Each structure stands twice: as structure tokens, then as C-alpha cells.
Amino acid sequence: MQIQETRALITGGSEGIGRAIAAALAAKGAQVGIMGRHAETVNKAADELKVTAFIGDVGHEDDAIRVVKEFVEKMGGIDILVNNAGIGGGAELVDLDLETFETVFRTNVTGAMLMGREAARHFIKQDSGHLINISSTSGLRGGKGSTAYSGSKFALRGMTECWRAELRPHNVRVMLVNPSEVQTGFFAKLGRNQETSDKKLRPEEIASAIVGALEIDDRGFIPEFSVFATNPF
């Protein structure tokens, strides 16, 4: 597709991978909207990126419905949805509390479903669209203490496969992206340190891969891909 003048909505777009995707698509000439829960943070990022801010929580149905509606009204339609909003958290099974588990799933799974559903209704009407779910290599292989996060990413992968089967007849391309460790503020929010390195992935690498996948002619698409650092050690 030609990205120029397409209309793209990125959830969790004020920081990290989402912000890098927003910047990359805007640089290609797309009309970009970023969505997030915290008005001050989202508005600041939108001003810096010269994109449009939309305030809402993907895990709240009313917010998901409202933001997609507002985006479509403001931009005149929607061509790309990037389901990037996601949170971490969890513990080993015997210590995992229900509130944490449900909170992670509400954003990472329910939120993706709600936003995907609203965007897909427009994609079907216009017989075109691109729906990109940002997962993780944790959705390919679980690990100790990751029941909530890995479980949510495995669920997202399963939903992606269902949506792909449903939406391909409507010329909608549904892609899943599995980044390995990326240097963002993700770990800090969990109270964990992340050792920085010139060898580890940055958000820009993920954004560049997504741009490349989108720019394939619309007769084809990449259903799923992972992005690893070449040699992070």
C-alpha cells in the first residue's frame, strides 16, 4: 500500500513502540491519531509528533467505541489500526492475584478486541483495511512468572488468527508482530531495571519493520513476524 494520506490510529501511541510507529507513519505522510489514557501525556506526544490526540482506555467499551467514531469523523475514515496498547505484570502462579491477572487481560486482550471490532466494522464497509496487533515473543513461549502477560499475548495471537480468517474476504490484512526485548519504559513501570545496550532493539526497529510490511502491494501481506536483536549480548 501507499502509506501517504492513509489514516492510522495507534493505541498506546504516546510512548515506546507506539510512539515510534506513529512517528514513522507520519513521516510517510499518513494522517495519524494516537490514543492513550492519560490526557497530559497523550496531548504532549501529539504536539511533539504533530499528530492528533485521542483520550480513552482501550479496555473500556464506551471509550473504544467513542474514540474510533471520533477518529473516523475527524479523519474521514480509517485505513490502519495498530493495537499497541499493552501492560505487563504478574507473578508465579501460586502468588498471582486475580486483580492483576484481570487488569492485564483487560488491556492486552479485551482492549485489542474492542478496538479491533470497531475498526473492522469500518474496514468491512469500505472493503479494505490493515489491522496490526503488537504482541511479543512472550506470546510464542511462556516463562516463569509470566502467566498474566504471556497468557494475554498467547490469547492475542489466537484472536489474530480468527480475525484474519474472518476479514480476508473483505480485503483486510491482519498482521501480528512479535518484538523481542525492546528498550522502552516498559520494565520501569513494572519496577524492574532494564540494562541498556547499543546492541538491543529500539522502538524504531519495530516501527521500521511495520512500515516495510505495510508497503507491500495490497495483493499480499505478511501474516506474522518476529523481530529479534541480531546479537544483544
Active site residues: 149
β-pairing, 52-55 vs 31-36, is parallel
Contacts of 169 (CB under 8 A, 6+ apart): none
How far is 106 from 103, CA to CA, in rounded Å?
A: 5
Torsion of CA 180, 185, 186, 191, to 10 degrees: 130
Which amino acid, one-letter code, is at 45?
A
N residues, the chain: 233
With CA atoms as reference, report the closest residue to 80 among 47, 116, 42, 37. 116
Query: What DSSP state is assigned to residue 107?
Result: I
How far is 224 from 176, CA to CA, in rounded Å?
A: 5
